[in-house]
Amino acid sequence: MAEQVSSEQMRKEIPGWGVDADPRNRPGVPMILKPQVREGAHWEVPERQPPPPYPVLKRVELKELTPTFGTGVPPRGLSGVLRRVAYDIPEHLVRHILLLLLADRVDVVESRVRRQPVTSLGALLGLVGGGLWLGRRLRA
């Protein structure tokens, strides 16, 4: 039978063993502490980015847009509608994330249809037909 090893021996032999035992050794402790104001910033409130001519989506928890925000892909089409609905739902709910994931998938299909309409339409019809076939098989 194996010999029982004490926690003191483990601490000496294995680097980092038992880091959760003493809060001073925990890497997450600085994140748990209250944030402190640091010196050296040249502004009290950061300069705001000018709003673009199209709508920018923001979390429902925010009163206004953050000082900087991405404007690479404005919301458009069905994926844009799904994103607008998702951003009306609080961020901590699973529905928010699932709608954004669905919007990403819909955006891929929309962009493929815009680039290659004939090929994409055939693939889309194949998916719909396959789904109908699978539905009939599951009902039987």
Band of residue 100 on the pLDDT scale cut at 50, 70, 90: very high
Average pLDDT across the chain, whole number: 79
In this prediction, residue 21 carries a pLDDT of 66
User: What percent of the chain lies above the pLDDT cut of 90?
Assistant: 14
Q: Is the pLDDT at 114 greater than 90, yes or no?
A: no
User: 79: buried, middle or exposed (CB in 10 Å: 19+, 13-18, 0-12)?
Assistant: buried
pTM for the whole structure: 0.54
pLDDT of residue 14: 82
pLDDT the model gives residue 109: 85
Domain boundaries, the chain: 74-140
